[in-house]
A and B are shown apart, each in its own frame.
Chain A
Amino acid sequence: MTASANPSRRSATGYQRAVVDNHRAQWVMDPTPRGFEDVPWLFAFPLPDQGTPSVYPISHFPLAFDFDADFLLRGMWGMATSSSSNTGSSLAVRLYDAYGNRMSDDLVPFFSLVTPANGYNYGFSHYGIIWSLLSPAPVEPELFCPAGSAMQIDLGVLPGTPDGDSHGALLYLFGVKRYRGCAT
């Protein structure tokens, strides 16, 4: 990824110094490279529901991807899978990308993770209820996940969560599978 550069900033040796760039447009994805085809794809991962905060945290729970193509993660959404009134409000997570890099420096409230900018998202709801047709929370920038790789997720609960609460949830990962040549 290359920032815009002013040629006049090149030194005599041609080394390009850092440039001041006030803004890089968000959610502008790179076009599909020549010779590849991008197919929209959705992975749905049920997250473990142990039912009691005492068994948390759960570390490095795998979110495995398919082997047939690389996956570019571009959005996330989440939904509760239990009838507990506190589900989701007390679940906190931390994601790792496909290379093991943490994507936050602490556990993030789950519905903060899956919330988009400037758009309604009641995505994290009570059991079985989707409050609205939602836009996923954009993943900025898109995340490259090699074929057969896996992201990971830590699961925990926030302070003050009553014991015995259920925290089952579904995590949806939106993006594209990138096939070499023709996808079909």
Chain B
Amino acid sequence: MKERFHIYRLPVPDIPAGQGVFSLPLGLDSDAPFSCRALSFVNADGGNAGNDAYTLVRFKGPNGMYRQAGAVPASQMAPSSVQSAWRRMYPETTWPANATIEVDIENTSGVTLSGMVVLFRGVKQYADSIDVPGSSVYPATYGSIPFDLPRYVTLQEVGTLDNIALNGPPDAAVALRGALFTYANSAATVGSSYRNLFCSIQDLNHKPYMNQDVEVDYLFGNTCPNMQLWFPQIWLPASGIVFYRFVRNDVGLGVLNMCLTWKGSKVFPK
């Protein structure tokens, strides 16, 4: 079996005070089962999803039965006070290909809940016979050294940077384990910040590792350094390519000069 890192993103509609949405569907892709190993709740666009103690959630497993005896405060399913925090789901929960995850969300606060996103993180599972770009192909014997690939990018307040290529070095493959997304130079971006900044990573065939663009703080770890580890690693062959893109909608927050440092190891066959 081959595994491929994947994130599913489920935006939640605005929920008035004292109300809830039930069986909110998240349709999974048809190409492979999905094993969820972590989930998180995003406070998007400065919305009132911040007080997770008043946001109750529950979801159904692959057999259609709830995985929680009752709705659980989001703060107890995933840490709410730390950005980029993922709640481990152990043991993993596997949904078949083309399945639907149903999520209930209740707003017990006194204000409208807006801008919430639920993230499911795990792996897609493929048969060994299927070609899966990005799968690790370690040689039987090899040596490796740590290797970073920093990429500098300027992001306007609103817009999309699409089809950005990350080219692998010619001398060795790189096993990518994560990336740090940081301000490239705080002196040059004084007063700039971001709130609605998303990224999508795609393999050489432009097949994304997520169903929607994902908040950068949760995909990479935010500028308060907290890098997320990807499992499994994304394999960048020698002279290979990975694509990524940024989408931003931050009117009035200034131009960003950022550095996305891809972190991993060069792998040299022996």
Could you tell me which A residues sit within 8 Å of B by CB distance? 1-3, 5, 16-24, 26, 86, 89-90, 92, 97, 101, 103-109, 111-113, 115-122, 139-141, 143, 158-162, 165
Contacts and interface: CB of A to CB of B under 8 A. Distances in A.
B43 interface: no
Contacts of A90: 185-188
A1 B141 contact: yes
Contact of A158 (B141, B142, B188): B188
A121 B183 CA distance: 15
B156 interface: no
B22 interface: no
A108 B150 contact: yes
A53 to B, nearest CB: 10
B140 A158 contact: no
Given A2-B140, A3-B139, A162-B187, A119 B148 contact: no
Contacts of A1: 141-144
B177 A140 contact: yes
B224 A120 contact: yes
Main secondary structure of the interface of B (DSSP, over half): strand
Given A141-B145, A143-B146, A109 B3 contact: no
A21 B184 contact: no
B225 A111 contact: yes
Interface in B219-240: 221, 224-229, 231-233
B200 to A, nearest CB: 21
B87 interface: no
Contacts of B142: 1, 3
Contacts of B28: none
B76 to A, nearest CB: 20
A117 B182 contact: no
Nearest to B168: A105
A158 B177 contact: no
A121 B84 CA distance: 14
Interface string B237-270: 0000000000000000000010101010100010
Given A89-B185, A108-B261, A115-B227, 15 more contacts: A20-B128, A23-B136, A23-B232, A86-B186, A89-B183, A90-B188, A104-B150, A105-B149, A109-B150, A118-B226, A118-B228, A141-B146, A158-B257, A159-B257, A160-B185
**Which 7 pairs of residues, A with B, have the shortest CB-CB distance?**
A160-B188, A115-B225, A89-B186, A104-B148, A158-B185, A3-B138, A117-B227
22 contacts: A1-B143, A3-B138, A20-B137, A23-B136, A89-B186, A90-B186, A103-B146, A104-B148, A104-B149, A106-B150, A107-B150, A108-B148, A108-B150, A109-B261, A111-B182, A116-B227, A139-B146, A158-B152, A158-B259, A159-B257, A161-B187, A165-B187
B211 to A, nearest CB: 21
A101 B184 CA distance: 24
Nearest to A101: B145
Given A86-B186, A103-B148, A105-B169, A120 B135 contact: no
Contacts of A118: 221, 226-229
B225 A19 contact: no
Interface string B83-113: 0000000000000000000000000000000
